[in-house]
Amino acid sequence: MSRILLIVGSVFGAAHAVADDVTSALEERNHSIQRNEDPQANDLEAGEFDWLLVVTSTTGVGELPDELVPLYNTLRDAPPRIAGLRYVVVVLGDSSYGDSFCGGGLALDEALADIGAQRIAEAFKVDAMEHSEPEAPVLEWLLELPEAQAQ
Ligand SMILES: Cc1cc2nc3c(=O)[nH]c(=O)nc-3n(C[C@H](O)[C@H](O)[C@H](O)COP(=O)(O)O)c2cc1C
């Protein structure tokens, strides 16, 4: 069993729906999920979990949903001590936005790596142009990760 901190950012609810399905699937494998939709940097420092899963959409022009902006700014401006934190980011986006495709989640992924957190896997991007329902591709990918296996 792993203890997983699940951070969610969404504007219109698609990322919440993904987070709901991810939570059910991981709990079925006996992992415990601590869901946080208003994360602060010290939630990452607390260390009461084995790995961090971020599920976020992209808004504006390659931006994060409002609830993840304070965390992102703190990671950049006053980084918490999280070297070695293991994490992976799932980003919902839309390739019709061109260069800003999935930009918000990718910026958060990079900010975590820049302060010494360890990627479990490359950020997983879901394109709304290809998938009207992002849950299926996310689950298919996530449940293959070694960290997601039942223990
Ligand atoms: C106002 C607006 C701006 C968006 N900007 C981007 C963007 O810059 N890059 C991108 O990849 N997707 C962008 N998207 C697409 C959303 O990220 C995508 O539809 C996502 O599935 C929405 O998830 P949510 O319901 O959790 O917010 C934008 C969508 C809206 C409505």
State the 10-residue block means of pLDDT for the chain, 151 residues long.
96 98 98 96 89 98 98 96 94 98 98 96 98 97 96 72
Distance 58 CA to ligand 1 centre (A): 5
Determine the pLDDT at residue 83.
Answer: 87
Distance 59 CA to ligand 1 centre (A): 5
Question: Domain coordinates of the chain in residue numbers?
Answer: 3-148
Distance 107 CA to ligand 1 centre (A): 15
Determine the pLDDT at residue 110.
Answer: 98
Determine the pLDDT at residue 151.
Answer: 72
Determine the pLDDT at residue 46.
Answer: 78
Q: Which residues line ligand 1 (CB under 6 A)?
A: 10-15, 57-62, 92-94, 97, 100-103, 128
For the domain spanning 3-148, the CATH number is 3.40.50.360
For Cα atoms 4, 65, 32, give the angle at the middle one, nearest 5 degrees.
10
Distance between CA atoms of residues 9 and 2, nearest Å: 22
Q: Tell whether pTM > 0.95.
A: yes
Atom of ligand 1 nearest to the CA of 101: 11
Distance 128 CA to ligand 1 centre (A): 8
Distance between CA atoms of residues 142 and 127, nearest Å: 16
The residue to mutate among 18, 63, 92, 129, having the most atoms of ligand 1 within 8 angstroms of its beta carbon, is: 92
Task: Produce one character per residue of 33-64: b if its CB has 16 or more CB atoms within 10 Å, e if not.
Answer: bebbeebebebbeeeebebbbbbbbbbeebbb
Distance 57 CA to ligand 1 centre (A): 6
